Structure 1
Amino acid sequence: MTWLNGLRFDPIAPLVSSGHPAVRYWAEREFLQGSAGTAETALWDLPIPRRIMRHQGPDGSWPYPGRRPRSRTDYDLLETYRNLGFLVEMFGLTREHPALAAAAQYVLSHQTPEGDLRGIYGNQYSPNYTAGFIELLVKAGYTDDPRVDLAFAWLESARQDDGGWALPLRTRGRNLDALDQSSTIAPDPTRPFSHLITGVVLRAYAAHPRHRSGPSARKASELLASRFFEPDAYRDKGRIADWTEFSFPFWMTDLVSALDSISNIQPELTTKKTDRARDWLADRQEPSGLFAGHLLRDRFHDLQLWFSLAVCRVFARMP
């Protein structure tokens, strides 16, 4: 593993000795060619995924536990997105599991004839949540599903003229009050891309074996890399700090989520900004071998392990 030479401490040892069975499984499989005798399905029966699945509704969704301030927002769809992320990204659930299959049917019931998935933003277009769901479904084994193909066709049609993506309502100067509007706001494709939105969309392209090699993915990965450490084009989401606030499963666009996608699409892509991002991460390695950063609160209190695993994946893929 020559990529370890650029780091001060061994990050693999603390992952495989952490005592977290899922983290250990992925680290051994991806970096040590281990776990050969362990089926991925063994992760499905761990306490955390079992606890998550106990709260799944009969229609395949998860009920949102909090207040619901916007009448047109489908909060159960949002909560389903959150829980699908845990089940797929951490515990490797696929369409072979009935809970995942039921959740997929619930999610895809929100697909419009145009191909986008609608509901979290009311009746407004949402390239980020459309792609976020499609990323998880692809990883769960729905790569060849025609509904996934339709969603990618919609994402292709929803690109800005510069090759990235943005929220259509933002391109028209509208704020979140537009989520309560019944009519759908058409985009202005001449406006610049949003790196926060493009980073989320790119994750779906990076997950798909065919779309990750296409020109749209390559162009968008170059656009995304050009914005590292810069504010977004849309001022309400213009915090440079967004780049260095991390979560796992990935939610918004940060340095690690962006590099994860880029390293799957163009592992050879090297710029001053990608080098700066990798140096920034390497400088935050602790003597334990794990990586530190502003980790947004997670539900299961082991975010540093997952964050460190994600950083290792990036370093392993990029030269």
Structure 2
Amino acid sequence: MNSWLEQFKFDPISPLLNAGDPALEYFTRRDLLGEALPPIEGLWKLPEASRILRKQLPDGSWPRPGDKKFPAVNYNLIETWRQLRYLVEKYGMTRQHPQVERAVEFVFSCQSPQGDLRGILANQYATYYTGAILSLLIQAGCVDDPRIEKGFDWLLVMRQEDGGWTIPLLTHKLDRAAIYRLTSEYTEPLEPDRTRPFSHNWTGMVLRAFAAHPRCRHSDAAWTAGKLLKSRFFQPDSYTSYQSAGYWLRFEFPFWWNNLLTSLDSLSRIGFTREDEQIQCGLQWFIEHQQDSGLWKDTYTKETKISLHRILERGLWVSLAVCRVFRMLS
């Protein structure tokens, strides 16, 4: 049952179980060891989850710290996604919890008539954030909500001709001042130039929504985008935003930006197997870069300026996500 562990030089399970984190231990036992455990609702009352919930506003959102410089930007949508990621991905919370339900409804209140989630880039289309947030909403129990279907319909319409995604405004030749204005003021959204190539960064974030959905993960659109995504492993992006190939090796959990780990997670859920040459290449990278402790670092490029405690915590959760991928592909 746990033969997938034989691929590693060092044991990753013991440090996850002995980290002193009840949520981390729960998911390790459930997802990696296949143990039968008490209902996940027990995690919902943990102090860290309660701390996040205490800061929620009556409308279901979380306030963004600092100044809100641009009225056209929905800062609370950004912060709500940021905090909801922790509640859903670290504590397994769903819309069955009344505060998560309020957060879900706040996010859906930001859905445009077309189906996208609008406001993070002012009134411009944000394909990548729409996909990533839809993925989170599905995990929170919204899979059968018709507003999820509406979001998928919009994402399908917004594909490039090659079957992947990018950020529509990046497909135009705009100077920095124009991009700044478009993403900070209320302006009509720019339609994409669909003849331009896909971006692996933004395709990866959109693909999370398809990977999370039990039906859409088996769609032709998901398979096509998945092939495009894995074809770009370890390469620079087609666009200047987050272009460096180093971004493939900067990890975090809960997931935010696209990287090798988030991509393998999505691709494994869509149905790609370890027999695929590019999937093998990605898995081999993790095998070769496991630390003596049994864990993986959160970044293998630029060092982050955060406390040692945060570095260790991130590494633990990243390591859980790595192990999930290997188990799914075993």
Provide the TM-score with structure 2 as the length reference: 0.92
How many residue pairs get aligned? The number is 318
Letter of the 1:162 counterpart: D
Contact 1:164 1:194 survives alignment (8 Å): yes
> What's the CA shift for 1:18?
1.7
Q: How does 1:292-307 map to 2 (within 5 A)?
A: 292-294=297-299, 301=310, 302-307=313-318
Contact 1:123 1:179 survives alignment (8 Å): yes
Contact 1:228 1:277 survives alignment (8 Å): yes
After superposition, give the CA deviation of every residue in 1:98-146 in whole Å (9 maximum; x if it has no partner).
1100001100001111111100111000111111111111001100000
> What's the CA shift for 1:184?
1.0
Distance 2:324 2:263 in 1: 12
After superposition, give the CA deviation of every residue in 1:176-225 in whole Å (9 maximum; x if it has no partner).
31213411111111111011100000111100000001111111111000
Letter of the 1:209 counterpart: P
> What's the CA shift for 1:29?
0.4
User: The residue matched to 1:231 in structure 2 has which SS?
Assistant: coil
Q: How does 1:30-179 map to 2 (within 5 A)?
A: 30-34=31-35, 36-174=36-174, 175=176, 176-177=179-180, 178-179=182-183
247 and 149 in structure 1: CA distance in 2 versus 1, 3 angstrom threshold: same
Letter of the 1:5 counterpart: E
Aligned-pair identity (%): 44
User: The residue matched to 1:173 in structure 2 has which SS?
Assistant: coil
Which is worse superposed, 270-279 or 189-198? 270-279
Residue among 210, 232, 254 paired with 2:237: 232
> What's the CA shift for 1:160?
0.7
Structure-1 residue corresponding to 2:287: 282
Contact 2:252 2:298 survives alignment (8 Å): no
Distance 2:241 2:112 in 1: 28
Letter of the 2:60 counterpart: G
Contact 1:221 1:266 survives alignment (8 Å): no
Structure-1 residue corresponding to 2:265: 260
Structure-2 residue corresponding to 1:183: 188
After superposition, give the CA deviation of every residue in 1:40-61 in whole Å (9 maximum; x if it has no partner).
0011000111000000000000
Residue among 190, 197, 200 paired with 2:202: 197
Contact 1:267 1:317 survives alignment (8 Å): no
Contact 2:211 2:269 survives alignment (8 Å): yes
Distance 1:215 1:14 in 2: 39
Asked if 1:15 is matched to 2:16, the reply is yes
Contact 2:159 2:194 survives alignment (8 Å): yes
> What's the CA shift for 1:13?
1.8
> What's the CA shift for 1:67?
3.2
Distance 1:298 1:247 in 2: 13
Instruction: Please list every run of 5 or more consecutive structure 2 residues that lacks an aligned counterpart in the other structure.
Output: none
Letter of the 2:34 counterpart: Q
Contact 1:165 1:194 survives alignment (8 Å): yes
Distance 2:32 2:184 in 1: 47
53 and 298 in structure 1: CA distance in 2 versus 1, 3 angstrom threshold: farther
Letter of the 1:247 counterpart: E
Distance 1:106 1:298 in 2: 31
Contact 1:284 1:293 survives alignment (8 Å): no
Contact 2:274 2:280 survives alignment (8 Å): no
Contact 1:143 1:208 survives alignment (8 Å): yes
Distance 1:10 1:52 in 2: 32
Distance 2:152 2:306 in 1: 30
Distance 1:108 1:173 in 2: 32
136 and 298 in structure 1: CA distance in 2 versus 1, 3 angstrom threshold: farther
> What's the CA shift for 1:173?
2.6
Contact 1:231 1:240 survives alignment (8 Å): yes
Distance 1:239 1:188 in 2: 23
Which is worse superposed, 271-280 or 168-177? 271-280
Structure-2 residue corresponding to 1:25: 26
118 and 318 in structure 1: CA distance in 2 versus 1, 3 angstrom threshold: same
User: The residue matched to 1:294 in structure 2 has which SS?
Assistant: coil
Asked if 1:312 is matched to 2:316, the reply is no
Distance 1:70 1:231 in 2: 31
